[in-house]
Copies of this chain bind each other. A is one copy, B any other.
């Protein structure tokens, strides 16, 4: 073990060993073959890292030459690129979606085997669905209800009175606090903390008096919560994440927030207490949202922005504080001209002084 183990491509692009004839694969990813449908496909790669036997995708004409020159065995392309290649093709309206399906076919997914590991701690009155997997050193409290095909990975903590829907995956070292409800087909990534106390105090002469946080957190179906993200429990009632919403790593959602359906929260977003997001809201990385405000359906906030007041009008916003993006851009552009502007004003003052002086002569 003396030599470095960090070899250039060690570990990456490991496939699951599956292989398909191109025709078979095309059917599985909803495309049509042009060329030799008997080619064997053993994996999937990006266009610049393609290996022999792999399939990759090309969505734009200017990328096609790189696809052609790669060792890939076949390309996924849109209809408009169908005539321009000498490699076997899979033609589809949405090459990215087809590629994503191909990724799933070759994913080296390793599901935790169903069953309860002998070192897992399972509380009293726990109901397990079918084919549930609970990993080594995991902790599950009392009165927990776990749906079918749920995987609770090693070292995860699931508190008391928790409910977890079918097909949900709870990754290692996550914390699911007492009484939290998680829907079906959710993925809770490693280190996420769901249901810690909200940050609520009353200022008194004796210092900050802790307000008990006795509410809960409800995560609806098809939600992902990123690694090391935190979603605090409500003071009363519940902090809620709407169905289909995807939350990236290290996001913080404070107590009493209500996040709508199908939102996207990029990395390190922070949402203060009792804020509300409508459906389909997109927050760029490191966005901050003030407490008790609302961001309405479909609004998009650019990375690094701070939302200090309720936003109702659809559109893209940015800046600190966030304003309509085109206004923010205009102000920003103007700000960069400021040092020059100050000179111009000084110059004007001089000229005017002179003019007035001359006039007074």
Contacts and interface: CB of A to CB of B under 8 A. Distances in A.
Given A189-B197, A262-B208, A216 B154 contact: no
Interface stretch (A21-29, A61-69, A264-272): A264-272
A139 B137 contact: yes
Given A100-B211, A246-B201, A272-B266, A303 B288 contact: yes
Interface in A111-132: 117, 119, 121, 129-130
**A-B residue pairs, 4 tightest by C-beta:** A6-B183, A12-B238, A334-B338, A175-B190
A244 B155 CA distance: 30
Nearest to A289: B285
A17 interface: no
Interface string A5-32: 1111111111100000000000000000
A214 B1 contact: no
A139 B216 CA distance: 28
B232 A249 contact: yes
A82 interface: no
A175 B249 CA distance: 14
B165 A4 contact: yes
Contacts of A92: none
Interface string A176-210: 01111111100101110100110101101001111
B348 A342 contact: no
A219 B7 CA distance: 10
A143 to B, nearest CB: 10
Contacts of A2: 148, 166
15 contacts: A1-B147, A6-B220, A11-B162, A97-B209, A139-B154, A173-B191, A190-B193, A210-B224, A210-B246, A252-B268, A304-B320, A331-B335, A335-B338, A348-B352, A355-B359
Given A139-B154, A334-B339, A352-B352, 18 more contacts: A12-B215, A14-B161, A97-B209, A100-B202, A103-B212, A119-B119, A135-B139, A139-B155, A171-B196, A189-B197, A201-B246, A207-B261, A248-B254, A252-B267, A254-B267, A288-B303, A330-B339, A335-B335
